[in-house]
Structure 1
């Protein structure tokens, strides 16, 4: 039995790629065609590649390997966290910190610091510390907890990475490649497939698409550990070509020209241009406002100029006769 079906992929909108102006030519072999200004991903290849990735991840988990799920875009954080926890694995759902893999010893020191602060709080040490110091410790704990909760129990480097959108997670991909850690990646039409070892061509923006692929890979780990994989179902309406759930739920920053929710995509104009008839809207009638009558201000009478003052003649004194 197939681990995933073509109908599931269609229902989740996995086949919708990026706008034809935003693509990586290396993805050409995974593209079925173009429609309404967007590329359509070949789902027959996606089905096969998901099965290949499933088998490889199953083998890694069966050999007690650890898996690190990576997806830091805000709308995908909950999916990454939920599926990683369900599979009993680790995750990074916040900003990828440089050196998470290549400088792992330093990362472990930060995790140890988090554990120490939590122990201080549990032992009521905060009660005897100055209030200002307690505030600083709580802020430090909050920051460490935000970035390291998903990997605090990871005792060494992971055996594999599951990455959603290698283009966004390029730092994680670069570190894994440097350490020869195999990468399983959801790759959209704007990504470079050469950056990952197990390519899964898929829409990496729509939450339903990401949920389907990531949950399927998590099922591989669960099954390898002797658990029961879940049946992935969606109760809401299927993703349409308009992909209305891409914004704000799954729309990338700076990707406003993608079909579906960009501001310049309304009225069926993929790529920012109208296709078909331009919608007509009644224009408001403009009636000029009558000009107010202009009344001249009264002019004050001008006072007559004062007569010029003539200087008195200077009379020289008469000389006295001797």
Structure 2
């Protein structure tokens, strides 16, 4: 794996609030090695450790992108929805930002059928086939398309299981994370002080409630993916 310098600045992390954890009464004792202090009733994450794990995660996604691997970014909390979609689009990754449909990965054949139906409906609409149908039928098809777009729009071009999945909130996306564990799909996960650091392959201790913190982490990962993709394309030409 190629090692790179990802310019992970501790001062910028503090400014983004990456170090701010949860109320100490809500902590997970397994997070003890990643906590440096307790201030005003909340735990403070050790940013030196965060920087090390974030750097390792960047190395991993850079190396994977350099080999043409696929990524899925998952973050369904309302306040991070647009951020996840934007970051994934920039890195040309698949994403789920509204709701995780149980079995999306572990029951891949069913998901694949849904995606094919979604793609077929989109194609029929673009070709103008809806115009030949009765208004009632068109209305039903448009409602179905709207539902597909809401829940599967970010994975509509996914043709197989992703090679790596990135999660922005362990608690919120626990079902999806467990599916990856079952399937043996490598995972990267932001973990706040109330999370379990042992579930994901790479756990990045960080504030998962503040947009600036999540954006900081995602920006680094996305930049590494984009750089890796550039290497992959350069070698292919």
On whether the aligned pair clears a TM of 0.5, the verdict is: yes
When normalised by structure 2's length, the TM-score is 0.93
- Distance apart, 1:199 and its partner CA: 1.1
Aligned pair partner of 2:91 in 76, 84, 87: 87
- Distance apart, 1:2 and its partner CA: 4.3
| C-alpha separation in 1, matches of 2:209 and 2:12 | 16
Task: Give yes or no for the alignment of 1:38 onto 2:28.
Answer: no
Aligned pair partner of 1:128 in 127, 132, 141: 132
RMSD over equivalenced CA pairs, Å? 1.1
8 Å CA contact 2:22–2:192 kept in 1: the answer is yes
Task: Give yes or no for the alignment of 1:47 onto 2:51.
Answer: yes
1:112 maps to 116
Q: What stretches of structure 1 of length at least 5 have no aligned partner?
A: 228-322
Structure of higher CA gyration radius: 1
2:155 maps to 151
- Distance apart, 1:3 and its partner CA: 2.9
User: How many correspondences in the alignment?
Assistant: 227
Q: Which has the higher contact order (CA 8 A, sep 6+)?
A: 2
Which digits, 9 at most, give the CA deviation of each residue in 1:163-207, with x for residues without a partner? 011111011100000011111000000011111110100000000
SS at match of 1:174: helix
| C-alpha separation in 1, matches of 2:119 and 2:162 | 21
Q: What stretches of structure 2 of length at least 5 have no aligned partner?
A: 232-237
- Distance apart, 1:128 and its partner CA: 2.3
8 Å CA contact 2:27–2:195 kept in 1: the answer is yes
When normalised by structure 1's length, the TM-score is 0.69
8 Å CA contact 2:6–2:58 kept in 1: the answer is no
2:235 maps to none
Higher helix share: 2
8 Å CA contact 2:165–2:186 kept in 1: the answer is yes
Aligned pair partner of 1:168 in 156, 159, 172: 172
Aligned pair partner of 2:63 in 59, 84, 87: 59
2:189 maps to 185
1:70 maps to 74
- Distance apart, 1:85 and its partner CA: 0.9
SS at match of 1:21: helix
